[in-house]
A and B are shown apart, each in its own frame.
Chain A
Amino acid sequence: MIPILSITLATLFVGTLATFAAGPRARYVAAAVSAIFLAEIAGMFALFSAPALGLALPTQFAEPESYPWIQVAWLHVNYTVGIDGISLVLILLTGILQAVTVAYSWTEQRQPAAWFGLVLLTCLGCFGVFAALDVLLFFVFWEVVLVPMFFLIGYWGGPRRRYAALKFFIYTHVASVTMLVALLVTAFYSHSASLDFASMAASAQTLALPTQIILFLSLFFGFGVKFPIVPFHTWLPDAHVEAPTGGSVLLAGLLLKLGGYGLIRWALEILPTGLQHVAPILYAVAFASIVWGAGVSLAQRDLKRLVAYSSINHMGIVLLAIALYSSLGLLAAVLLMFAHGIVSALLFMVSGSVHHTFGSRDIATVSGITPTAPVLSTMTMTGALASLGLPALISFPAEFTALLATWDKIGFWVLIPLGALVITAAFYIWMMQRLLFGTPKSIPVGAHDLPYPEAFAMGVLVVLSVLYGILPNLLIHFIQLSPVAGLP
């Protein structure tokens, strides 16, 4: 048995350190680390799909690796890592986004070593979160993610970066403390043998129902702020608007997924009864996020703000799908998270490129960019269409499944997300009309199409969204090797 997760963690760790130390050549180190990471992810996929490698086809966690970490009388903390289909797919997303972020910011001039190092550190944290199966380990990685993101926004960000970085940090930190407390309470109240996921999932069932409900709601708050859910969402637009493009990509593509993943792994699987009893609350919050995100997007003039609010809308659908507590819903949620990771990354790259090509992201003043920048324009269209759920692009199978699951579980309430789909289409189409089409306005002299690294990064995302849009089974097959298969 190959301890591939630990190996990956180690390579990422060493790679991150090397990048920090590499000075002006950091980007080459970062690229190499990304390539190795992707190769290791390919290895994980191989382990999952090939019984020939000595593993029976796993249904839950393939190859959990566990070593004692902190062992005192009443506290058993292990270093436990393991992945199932859900984590596997999200780790793939991490690998992809790390690579494209490095590619996109290939020509970063300001403190390149720190920049690439922090990007890698963020991805390292995300990988850790997806792989950790111990509360404390999970929390450590969870917090590891916050720090580089704080600096990415706070140092490379826009004019109000300090405000945005602090807001981001405070919001997510309050949430993560809530989450940690709730998880520890779960472990200690239920006399879990250790802080391992498996042990907690087993012992938490013994808790009294009111306790389970309260704990679940606390966890929901903790993970929900990361989603983000209305009304705890206002950190997101500010963080995105101020963040540098690479930061936005990681923020939308990965950090929001941590919330979704956490809710599935550490709330839904540990406290399923609690979830089922408070599902209506979750539905209400999800509906609010969906409608609010879509509606507010419609009023935005800043392209990045628009995409940020649309993320709230999409993550609302993810929340809805999770709250359904059904096999189909969970599948849809994971698929949608992956899809949103790819598509929002693409759209944030588009926003960044629009900003530094045309000097502004204001879609009410910049217009008619297509003749100047046809490639950028094509990327924008693909991203917008993918985001509004066009078939043959990645979001469609996910959204279709999510809505079908919603109809299946709560009937005509599905009209709310369905109606929001029209609004989603409206703001993207309107954005395209204003930004891409019409008579060229506010086009600076010498504006040019995408530079090569940016075109490459976006091209990869476009290809991926077409690939997975046409062949969703590539993901669905793996996602099912998880609790998805066990739910009703």
Chain B
Amino acid sequence: MILELLAFLVLAATATLTALAALLVRELVHTILWVALFFVALSGFYFLVSAPFLGVLQLGVYAGAVTILLLFGVMVTRKRIFAREAATGLGPAPIALSLLVLVILATAATTVPSGTTQLSGFPIAALSTALFNVYGGWLLLLGLVMLPALAGSIYLVREDRE
């Protein structure tokens, strides 16, 4: 028990801090590193609540692919990424707004059922069965969304665009 709790606390702290760090540091390349760490922390959460498949997925997709993609982005636009960032036109309002949402949601978190999460014994087989039977349509849909997204991305980055 203590071990799990400890793991949870460490992961929570890591996730929060890395997220903050990713958004606050000025070096964009550092940001990518922090965010990679953030993704890893989240995958830790998934392992903790006995969702190992998702944990692996998170590591593969986010910590792996997305991070690399972001890194590519930084590299391509590299010349301009070191400029100091200006404040938004909205002033302190965004900070206040996000704080407000945070506070409310945190308050709301106290009203969730006082149950617990299951830490072990989740059959991956059940998930895969469900994914390809009950939620097969969803996956198909996902594929259908990805295809135009792919095409769109290619169109956007095409060199000889008028």
Does A touch B (CB under 8 Å) in the complex? no
Q: Which residues of A contact B (CB under 8 A)?
A: none
Q: Which residues of B contact A (CB under 8 A)?
A: none
